[in-house]
Amino acid sequence: MKGFETLRWREGKLEMLDQRVLPATVQYLAYTSAAETAAGIRDMVVRGAPAIGVAAAYGVALEASRQRAAGAAAFKTALEAGFDVLAKSRPTAVNLFWALERMRDEWQHVAASSKEIIAEHLIVAAQDLHAADIAANRAMGRHGAALLASGARVLTHCNAGALATAGHGTALGVIRSAIEAGKSISVYADETRPFLQGARLTAWELMQDGIPVTLIADNAAAFLMSRGEIDAVIVGADRVAANGDVANKIGTYSVAVVANRHRIPFYVAAPISTIDAAIAGGAQIPIEERNESEVTGYGNVRWAPAGVKVRNPVFDVTPAELVSALITERGVVHAPDTAKLKILLAAKQN
Ligand code: MRU
């Protein structure tokens, strides 16, 4: 993976690649507070479950750093407000809440220290989460690559690549690792209406690396499967329930149903931080609904009639029974269910 960083820490600021304007424009925006970072997450400057988690961790560190000169009570109040505004930025990706919990633990460890030490500690903690996400993606890639035969034509939905993580990617990380292992892999990228993560981000990201990618309209996937032109599906996840149900970008469920109809393996690549053991099944996963403007047009172009009623749920839930395997940094779980995920969560990384 070369040429871009999704997030980077530069001279005490968080810089994020603005994913709203890719691929036409490659620009980084700088962030100096938790509220600004939360707005960047909400407005999709950064998106993708693991990347949102890392951004939120930096948001906490920025707030602590900004409040160094405040009195002890004001520092605590501002940091709590920072946690709060970040937690409200997006509801579905559990990595956000997972990262905020880790950062709260880190704060508790050093809460009795000076504000300077707390701020420094939280910056290092965010950088550690950043590095750990890349390492998890690399491990996932190694485990998942074994599932792909050389010559495989792989369909993916949304963007679960380097742009959605701290680097390498989850679903696209598996593809990258398979290619690094010497396999010949080509990708079909669903365009992913309405925000076009597939057309704008996955296509761009894979082309940066010279990985063969063909862009298709979302509704072309079933046809290509029926013609035997797709060998496997790999997607990422925003939250995996304790029973293996998977919340991911809207449209993932229909891809899983059609893959099942054609006996094509449907793989989900997600780090342990995406598994929410507190949620028994997918029905309880909060599903974000975003602004209708994402459906009525794109950018400055509007194609739907003024006043039309719109729904814009941006995630859906694929039942575990349609998931051939869950690829994690701890290994591959075939036909995931509650018992297998319990064992996985209790296991140590290998
Ligand atoms: O709305 P987005 O772009 O944040 O949705 C992203 C997805 O659905 C990804 O597939 C998921 O976060 C996995 S990213 C490794």
Q: Domain boundaries in the chain?
A: 7-137, 142-349
pLDDT, mean of residues 313-329:
98
DSSP helix/strand/coil, 65 = helix
238-267 pLDDT per residue, tens: 999 999 999 999 999 999 999 999 999 999
Residue type, 144: G
Please state, in angstroms and as integers, the Cα–Cα distance from residue 122 to each residue in 101, 104, 118, 295, 320, following that order: 12, 9, 6, 39, 36
Contact by Cβ (8 Å): 65, 34:
no
DSSP helix/strand/coil, 262 = coil
174-227 pLDDT per residue, tens: 999 999 999 999 999 999 999 999 999 999 999 999 999 999 999 999 999 999
106-133 pLDDT per residue, tens: 999 999 999 999 999 999 999 999 999 9
Active site residue 238: yes
pLDDT, mean of residues 294-318:
97
45-84 pLDDT per residue, tens: 999 999 999 999 999 999 999 999 999 999 999 999 999 9
Pocket around ligand 1 at a 6 A CB cut-off: 47-50, 93, 158, 160, 164-165, 170, 197, 235-238, 248-249, 314
132-160 pLDDT per residue, tens: 999 999 999 999 999 999 999 999 999 99
Ligand 1 pocket test, candidate residues 157, 197, 201, 290, most atoms within 8 A of CB = 197
Maximal C-alpha separation, the chain: 67
pTM for the structure as a whole: 0.97
Q: What is the CATH number of domain 7-137?
A: 1.20.120.420
Average pLDDT, the chain: 97
C-alpha count within 13 angstroms, C-beta hemisphere, residue 178: 25
Residue 289 has pLDDT above 60, yes or no: yes
- The backbone torsions φ and ψ at residue 39, rounded to the nearest 5 degrees and listed phi first, read -65, -40
The pLDDT of residue 2: 59
Alpha-carbon distance of 252 to 215, in angstroms, equals: 16
Selected catalytic residue, list 18, 190, 231, 238: 238
Ligand 1 pocket test, candidate residues 159, 233, 267, most atoms within 8 A of CB = 159
Band (pLDDT 50/70/90 cuts) for residue 350 is low
The pLDDT of residue 3: 82
For Cα atoms 324, 328, 329, give the angle at the middle one, nearest 5 degrees: 155
Contact by Cβ (8 Å): 233, 322:
no
**Is the domain defined by 142-349 classed in CATH 3.40.50.300?**
no
Query: Considering only CA atoms, which of 195, 229, 226 is closest in space to residue 214?
Result: 229
Alpha-carbon distance of 324 to 263, in angstroms, equals: 10
